[in-house]
Structure 1
Amino acid sequence: MSSHVPNQARVIPLRPATAAPPPAAKEPLWRHVVGDVLRRERLAQERTLKDVADAARISMPYLSELERGRKEASSEVLAAAARALGLGLADVLALAHGELARPARARPARTETEPTAVTSVVSGRDRSSGRAAASPHGGMCLAA
């Protein structure tokens, strides 16, 4: 009778096993951020899609697609939509910057029905003191 020992290798790891790093927070897409800014400003002004689309000379379905983040706006279309809302491109950028500067976990989920007034960012004024509000990064910020 032969004694047969199974031929098994023992594996010794060279490095201790570490847990996988947590997944990085997913960066929002630019079209989603800009769409949210356009929609919030339109709703804050209590204006309809048709009203803003007509003022911007773009189609109502296209403006809706922009607001929902389904389409990427050209600079010309974005400028026209901003102007129709009484904003400049710098205002849209400042508002989008405010969205992007917030930590991902503090960003609200995208909602279609909740308007948010953004006039203090657009005017660059602190609501409490009336003074200009600036972020430490040199841009305008919303005074809480």
Structure 2
Amino acid sequence: MSSHASNRARVIPLRPVPAAEPDAPPRAAEPADPAERAPREPLWRDVVGDVLRRERLAQERTLKDVAEAARISMPYLSELERGRKEASSEVLAAAAHALGLGLADLLALTHRRLVRQGRSRPLGSHTATRRTEASARPGDIRLAA
């Protein structure tokens, strides 16, 4: 290595910036204010983590207490509650049982939270579902994935 080498790091973009076409109209910039952006679906891990944390706090229990009862590490439980980790069904069941809940109870609480958050979305986001239901004919069979 030469002593004349620059100390500056070279930055390589992860996504190439698309070149603007000469005849294309300029694209609208994303709104600077996050509140102006379209609402995003919540992540499962965020909602489950929030439910776990709220239940733990409602019981006035510490992270250490619940983590020991669930036989998982305290830092891992903390990351679950903050939505930083995607937990397996076994870990979710252990955390739920440590809080005196069954896995079905945890899933039901999470479902309720998702439904409440979904109601805050604009009605236009459900038009594709309504259109499909309207075009169905009697006797049609639908398969769900």
Shorter-chain TM-score: which interval? 0.5 to 0.7
* Percent sequence identity over aligned pairs: 83
Tell me the secondary structure at the aligned position of residue 57 of structure 2: helix
1:49 maps to which residue? Answer: 63
- Equivalent position amino acid for 2:52 in 1: L
- Equivalent position amino acid for 2:83 in 1: G
1:85 to 89, 99, 106: 99
Structure 1 CA distance for aligned equivalents of residues 97 and 64 of structure 2: 15
Structure 2 CA distance for aligned equivalents of residues 82 and 103 of structure 1: 22
Aligned pairs for 1:1-144 within 5 A: 24-104=38-118, 106=120
Question: Larger helix proportion, structure 1 or 2?
Answer: 2
Rg bigger for which structure? 1
Structure 1 CA distance for aligned equivalents of residues 92 and 86 of structure 2: 9
- Equivalent position amino acid for 2:66 in 1: V
Structure 2 CA distance for aligned equivalents of residues 105 and 25 of structure 1: 11
The number of equivalent residue pairs is 86
Structure 1 CA distance for aligned equivalents of residues 93 and 81 of structure 2: 14
Q: Where does structure 1 lack aligned partners over 5 or more consecutive residues?
A: 1-21, 108-144
